[in-house]
Structure 1
Amino acid sequence: MGQGRQEHIATSLAGTVSAEISASLAPVDAELERRYPGDPGTRQPVHTVYVPGDAFATDTVRSWGDRALAALDEHAPDAASFAAVLGLADDLAEPVYARVRAKLGREPVEDLRVDFEDGYGPRPDTEEDEAAARAARLIAQAYANGTAAPYMGIRMKCMEAPVRDRGIRTLDIFLTGLMRAGGLPDGLVLTLPKVTCSEQVTAMVRLLEAFEKAHALEPGRLGFEIQIETSQSILAADGTATVARMIQAAEGRATGLHYGTFDYSACLGVSAAYQAGDHPAADHAKAIMQVAAAGTGVRVSDGSTNVLPVGPTAKVHDAWRLHYGLTRRALARAYYQGWDMHPGHIPTRYAAVFAFYREGFEQAAGRLARYANRAGGDVMDEPATAKALSGYLLRGLDCGALDIAEVARLTGLTRADLEGFAAPRWGDLTASAK
């Protein structure tokens, strides 16, 4: 009864009410858009490799790949042995092992930082000057001849008073060297370590502004990562989250928050034997970082393990299992990047990443296909879930865990379609939800 009857639509509010409310919220709308622009939609590397400034060489990227392949040859020469070490399911053993070896041959390092901080230490000024200039020359050459990692840059010394001038000079020499060699590469990444207050972030912004002005670069061309390595960077003296203020102090230049496992743990008094990425103190810090960065376009990176896969096979296998487990744990918590400190870590980095994406691939693809086609199913997904599903598939494609042909086969979607679901505009979300 009543079907087909046209409803009488009545309202009570004057037409000006909605306009007045919109006008009152316009400044808030603009501020939210500025503070929370969303993910930049660019590739995020799965790891960052740190190489001391004096050890970086023209063949570093290829050398890491070769040493990682040699570790596999010696300690896990086939898919079955590698899967047995890591506990990979039978259906994942061959595809993961094959993709790991292919990745180590094709692109062994996704992100490399030439280190002038803890991994380099205090040196005579003339020596660090020379190393910084050399790093610029070698990185420029790598990008020019196609041997660079997708992302490369340096970690300077921090903004604390004892090393501030040295860090600024190293950064100046490095960036000037790149400019003299042809300009700043697209994959350039800079890392500011041991940040304890937002004023140090502001100082880094002013420093980069001065360099851009000196070389007539587009304002905002230079961004940087903030390393979270002290308790003060998480919780300020007034009880507020310092890391949230740091993101705003960066004025749009912050690209990442990187957790420093060992400095942060030591700062809290965690004894050396328990300093690890799965310690409760680490979980707390990374959770604060994650919430502070959500929606800002700033990405969060996990730290590293200092247990190296070296020595006899049994010891290597133990280190591999530890690294694999920590990496899988981080991925489940949406920390899609971490640090690797040794070539022997990258086989298990890629094994963990590839297994993570391949084991959930078919389910994610099926759910996204049903959502895109409004076909229903046993899970009722919303626009936010479609965003997460497409982001999952895009990350798998970027690192080499998945191929676009298999994604298209199961979803019926192109990469452009996936990117549209992964970064919807607010109007798209509300329209999709109707």
Structure 2
Amino acid sequence: MAGPSLTPTDLARIDAALAATDQLLDRNYPGDDGTRQPIHTVYIPADRFTPSFVADWSAAAIAAADAHGGLENLGALLGQAPELASAVAGRVARKLAEEPIEDLRLDFEDGYGDRGDEAEDADAVAAAQAVAAAVSAGTAPPFIGIRFKCFEAPTRARGLRTLDLFVSTLARLGELPAGLVLTLPKVTTVAQVKAMDDAVTRLEEVLGLPAGRLRFEVQVETPQLILGPDGTSPVAQLPHVVPGRISALHYGTYDYSASLQISAEYQSMEHPVADFAKEVMQLAVAGTGIRLSDGSTNIIPVGDNVENAWKLHGRLVRRSLERGYYQGWDLHAAQLPSRFAASYAFYREGLPAAATRLRNYVERTEGGVMDEPATARALAGFILRGVQCGAIGAEEVQAMAGVELSHLTVLAHPRLAQSTSK
């Protein structure tokens, strides 16, 4: 049989030609790291946080559900079949009691306003002290941090000072929380993100933190970040100008809509301009490991509008999940029941089919669908997200898909196995 025609010299030449591509893929497209992503971020004015805040919201969320027929009734409002509503209700009840907030952002921007430098300095230090106390007491959410003012000229110095005071105070009180999150809002240019990278790099140096410890989120809430003045998309450049530094992109519903002259009545997470921006965001970060979050709805479940607001919120949460946005914002304790009810139903409804297909893939069993490795990763990733948020039990995955949690994680994120084997 004739041997190959390409010589080792030919292969070496091709390898050399693709060396830059290999480096780009390895450095800039590492994929998701397999750690837990919160399913929501709760925003509150920074000065309202206390170590008892999470427990207070837990009680308020449970009371809201109880006052309107309970969690099974909420499931029915969201269109869930009785058996599904019952299964979801039990899990949501535990979630609201044990971990009602997954990610909390103490807001020094729109939710705080301009209170003068003296007041904001004091609140930045107090916020860091309260976060440290909550982490020490075990009452902090898994993820917690601040949103400071944007880097446009009028607020840049104030934003940097609040960031500095908060992080420096936390660092001097002890080890930074594992789930620390910093949020840079109203980004319009790549230069602002580079400036943020410069600021956190300097903070790491001064405070003796490991390089890369201070990652940050970028809020996409200006049209200039989607389409720049030169016709390119600045948001697509962000993962590559500061590789590894950005943890997530968060869509800002109302600032973005208002910037495009959408009247207030029609500003929504599901407006066409929102969908376009979020599709661009998805393309920009695909494969980079940067996560995505949808925005919020400002229709709050209070007064005579509770059930209608729950229906709207539940539908929007489900809509985001179906479009690959696994995180969103919540602004009120009464939104927690609908957040978790809609999210849990999404994962539980999809579990039987996903588990069957994953089992067939793992066991090489022929079924009605022949899945490729990329689809198997998506199936495993879907199930893993359900486990991480509490919608699905690891024992259910073992019984239905035939894989343990560690195996599921590797199936969802195969590069984890490659990195640990090196």
For residues 29 and 139 of structure 1, do their structure 2 counterparts lie closer, same or farther at Cα, with a shift above 3 Å needed? same
The more displaced of 418-427 and 368-377 is 418-427
Equivalent in the alignment of 1:87: 79
Q: Secondary structure at the match of 1:121?
A: coil
8 A Cα contact 1:365 1:411, kept in partner = yes
- Alpha-carbon contact 2:28-2:239 (below 8 Å) kept: no
* Structure 1 residues 136 and 195: CA distance shift in structure 2, 3 A: same
Q: What residue in structure 2 maps to residue 248 of structure 1?
A: 240
1:24 partnered with 2:17 = yes
Shift of the alpha carbon at 1:427? 11
Tell me which amino acid in the other structure corresponds to 1:422: A
Pairing 1:117–2:117 present? no
How many correspondences in the alignment?
418
How big is the shift at 1:40? 1.4
Q: Hey, what does 1:266 align to over in structure 2?
A: 258
- 2:43 alignment partner, one of 47, 50, 60: 50
Identity fraction in percent? 53
Q: Distance in 2 between matches of 1:183 and 1:84?
A: 45
Pair 1:294-2:294 in alignment: no
Matched with 1:171 is 163
Verify: 1:138 aligned to 2:130, yes or no.
yes
Distance, in Å, in 1 between the alignment partners of 2:359 and 2:29 is 28
Tell me which residue corresponds to 1:162: 154
- Correspondence for 1:66: 59
CA RMSD of aligned residues (A): 1.3
| Separation in 2, partners of 1:366, 1:202 | 45
Q: Is the 8 A contact 2:360 2:367 kept in 1?
A: yes
Amino acid at match of 1:47: H
Instruction: Please give the alpha-carbon distance, in whole angstroms, between the structure 2 residues aligned to 1:11 and 1:212.
Output: 53
Residues 212-242 of structure 1: CA deviation (Å, up to 9, x unaligned): 1101211111000000010001110111111
Aligned to 1:103: 95
- In the alignment, is residue 400 of structure 1 matched against residue 393 of structure 2? no
Match of 1:180, SS? helix
- Structure 1 letter corresponding to 2:9: T
CA distance 1:78–1:215, shift in 2 (3 Å):
closer
Query: TM-score with structure 1 length normalisation?
Result: 0.94
Counterparts in 2 of 1:310-325, with a 5 A limit? 310-312=302-304, 315-325=305-315
* Moved beyond 4 Å, runs of 4+: none
1:184 pairs with 2:184: no
Tell me how far apart the structure 1 counterparts of residues 7 and 130 of structure 2 sit (CA, whole Å).
68
TM-score by length of 2: 0.97
User: After superposition, where does 1:263-412 map in structure 2 within 5 Å?
Assistant: 263-312=255-304, 315-412=305-402
Q: CA deviation at 1:103?
A: 0.4
Which letter maps to 2:252? G
The 5-angstrom pairing of residues 413-428 of structure 1 reads 413-425=403-415
For structure 1, the residue ranges without an aligned partner over 5 or more in a row are 1-7, 429-434
The 2-side partners of 1:43 and 1:82 are apart by 27
- Cα distance in 2 for partners of 1:330, 1:407 equals 24
Cα distance between partner residues in 1 of 2:280 and 2:294:
13
| Contact 1:205–1:251 under 8 Å retained in 2 | no
1:22-74 deviation line (CA, Å, top 9, x unaligned): 12211221122111111111100000000101222221111111111000010
Contact 1:390 1:418 in 2 (8 A): yes
Q: Which structure would you say has the larger Rg?
A: 1
Query: Is this contact kept in 1: 2:28–2:243, CA < 8 A?
Result: no
Pair 426,353 (structure 1): closer, same or farther in 2 beyond 3 Å? closer
Amino acid paired to 1:27:
A
* Structure 1 residues 66-117: Cα deviation after superposition (integer angstroms, max 9, x where no partner): 11100001012251x2233111112201011111111000000000000000
Q: 1:141, 1:147 → 2: CA distance? A: 9
Partner of 2:118: 126
Distance 1:230 1:34 in 2: 28
CA contact 1:300–1:335 (8 Å) conserved in 2 = yes
Secondary structure in 2 matching 1:360 = helix
Unaligned stretches of 5+ residues in structure 2? none
Q: Distance in 2 between matches of 1:60 and 1:226?
A: 25
